[in-house]
Structure 1
Amino acid sequence: MSAAQWVMVVGLSVGLGVLWRRHRFPGGWAFAFSLRYESDRAALANARNRARAVSREAALAESAAQAELTSAEVAYERKMRQLEQQMARLRNPGSGERLGSLGELVLFQHVLVVTSAPATRSIDLAGLDARFDTGRTNHSIYLTDVTGRVHRAKYPHMIPASDDQHRFDEEAVRDFTVAIQNAVADENSFRARVPHQLTQAEQQLKRARADTSAQEAARKRLAGVRQRNRLDPHRKAADSDLEEALQRWKTLTGHLPPT
């Protein structure tokens, strides 16, 4: 920054300071700057500072109490959402974690997805029967869902010395069948527990929804802080002293200064 620019910045700062002082101590240059009225200015400034300090302390106390209430309300809503989401997951767990795949079948925690033509579809694992079989040219996994419908997934035999990725070793197909059977067992166990878990979750949600004690306590504390602030004798005294200081300045100068 050049010297001229520094001079301009300093001049602007001084000018703003003068305007601010004239605004805070109205009535003319003498009242704002003369040593004759220094004690009058000090009395007004002290009254302002005391009133501002008491007001700030009251505002901080109310802000802290309001923050406590807001925190309690947010925690309550978060608890409601968590319990509602837990119930939603029990009612509709979705596909769940991906457990593996082989050929056209992709195994998830709760469903088995068939990706072959004409369209991809999902089969619920609950009540599913999976059976391995082998034939002259293909290994097969037969899947019978709860409606009795059967799907056959075919896996062409591995040919010795062949690296064809679309041909499958018998052991790999058997192992994947076992993985499906184990996932079905886990899903059947999960489904059997769902009614009891849903009942527990519903009861927990009902209790949590009725428990507003933390919010009520915070709301009561906020009301108490506000009442103390309204009745605070220190605040009333500081406001009264400031009003008297303002009126004294008006009597002295003919101008009522800002608070």
Structure 2
Amino acid sequence: MVWLVVVVAVGSGVGVLWQRHRYPGGWAFSFSRLYRTERLALAKARGAAREVVLRAARAESAALAGVTSADAAHEARLHRLEQRLAGLRHPGSGARLGSLGELDLFQHVVMVNSAVGSRAFELAGLHVRFEPGRKVHSIYLTDAAGRVHRAKYSLQTPAGPDEEQFDEVTVGDFAVLVQNAVADENIADARRPRQIEKTEKELQEARVDTRALDAARDRLRDTRQRNRRDPRRKSAESELETASRVWEGLTGRVPPR
């Protein structure tokens, strides 16, 4: 109860100080019913002026948000096109499609991981041949320059825990998977120059196409000009100035806005 009394007392004290600050000139001018009409007139003028300012601020804030949104959309469009162009020019390995033994197949390359090191064969232009054997099955990879790699898959029972045994169907199916990936990549590679040219053109056009951003900036400029010229703002400022002069003439004190 003591704390409640203290809180109420402090709150009341703050309220009194705020009333004295908003309506200066003495206790009677701040609280007496004799000057209630003058206080209400000043409060009404203040509220009208504040509402005009807030309305203008909201309109300008919305217009500024439109500029920010349009700018972000323009940058995002450029980024998407730049990323697409980079992917077309340098596709990299692509998604992983499968692996068998020393071969790891990706969307654009097949990686050979042999005892002498790793090497990437680009799928475009790659020739793939499967050759079954009595002891070893083989997948031959021949690149566009004619270099050949033979991937070997033993049929024998593994001699150790790190060795694997492969049957003909498994190796043959993987060879078909590689061949189909090569076919897909050959099609994509043939289309890539035209796609690069198209994307370059789209990127160039997107860089100079700032119509949406320019329109948003125009709306912001128009909003600011409209706010500065708003007759309601001038009227509200005039009414507040009049109410302030009346209060000053009554009390000798200039009230805060």
Same-fold call, TM > 0.5? yes
Query: Residues 57-86 of structure 1, C-alpha deviation per residue, up to 9 Å, x if partnerless?
Result: 111111222222221111111111111111
Task: Report what 1:242 is aligned to.
Answer: 240
Q: What is the correspondence of 1:32-43 to structure 2 with a 5 Å cutoff?
A: 32-43=30-41
Instruction: Describe the SS at the equivalent of 1:96.
Output: coil
Task: Quote the sequence identity (%).
Answer: 57
Q: 2:252 aligns with which of 251, 254, 258?
A: 254
Task: Report what 1:108 is aligned to.
Answer: 106
| Aligned-partner Cα distance in 1 for 2:207–2:60 | 27
Task: Report what 1:19 is aligned to.
Answer: 17
| Aligned-partner Cα distance in 2 for 1:150–1:178 | 18
Alpha-carbon shift at residue 27 of structure 1 (Å): 2.0
Q: 1:124 aligns with which of 113, 122, 125?
A: 122
Alpha-carbon shift at residue 254 of structure 1 (Å): 2.2
Task: Report what 1:145 is aligned to.
Answer: 143
| Aligned-partner Cα distance in 1 for 2:13–2:143 | 87
Task: Report what 2:228 is aligned to.
Answer: 230
Matched, 1:91 2:95: no
> Do the aligned residues in 2 keep the contact of 1:114 with 1:122 (CA within 8 Å)?
yes
- What amino acid is the match of 1:156? S
Task: Report what 1:8 is aligned to.
Answer: 6
> Do the aligned residues in 2 keep the contact of 1:158 with 1:169 (CA within 8 Å)?
no
Alpha-carbon shift at residue 146 of structure 1 (Å): 2.4
Q: What is the root-mean-square deviation in Å for CA atoms of aligned residues? A: 1.8
Query: Residues 38-70 of structure 1, C-alpha deviation per residue, up to 9 Å, x if partnerless?
Result: 111111100000001111111111122222222
Task: Report what 1:60 is aligned to.
Answer: 58
| Aligned-partner Cα distance in 1 for 2:3–2:124 | 80
| Aligned-partner Cα distance in 2 for 1:158–1:13 | 92
Deviates more, 1:76-85 or 1:149-158: 149-158
**Could you state the TM-score of these two structures normalised by the residue count of structure 2?**
0.93
Matched, 1:194 2:175: no
Alpha-carbon shift at residue 135 of structure 1 (Å): 3.1
| Aligned-partner Cα distance in 2 for 1:78–1:121 | 36
Point out 4+ residue stretches in structure 1 off by more than 4 angstroms. Answer: none
Alpha-carbon shift at residue 250 of structure 1 (Å): 2.0
| Aligned-partner Cα distance in 2 for 1:174–1:241 | 91
Instruction: Describe the SS at the equivalent of 2:91.
Output: coil
Mind listing any 5+ residue stretches in structure 1 that lack a counterpart?
none
> Do the aligned residues in 2 keep the contact of 1:140 with 1:155 (CA within 8 Å)?
yes
Mind listing any 5+ residue stretches in structure 2 that lack a counterpart?
none
| Aligned-partner Cα distance in 1 for 2:19–2:151 | 89
- What amino acid is the match of 1:92? H
> Do the aligned residues in 2 keep the contact of 1:48 with 1:242 (CA within 8 Å)?
yes
Deviates more, 1:16-25 or 1:244-253: 244-253
Query: Residues 94-122 of structure 1, C-alpha deviation per residue, up to 9 Å, x if partnerless?
Result: 21111111111111111112233343332
| Aligned-partner Cα distance in 1 for 2:27–2:11 | 18
- What amino acid is the match of 1:146? A
Alpha-carbon shift at residue 215 of structure 1 (Å): 1.5
**Could you state the TM-score of these two structures normalised by the residue count of structure 1?**
0.92
Query: Residues 10-59 of structure 1, C-alpha deviation per residue, up to 9 Å, x if partnerless?
Result: 22211221121122112222221111211111111000000011111111
| Aligned-partner Cα distance in 2 for 1:127–1:243 | 84
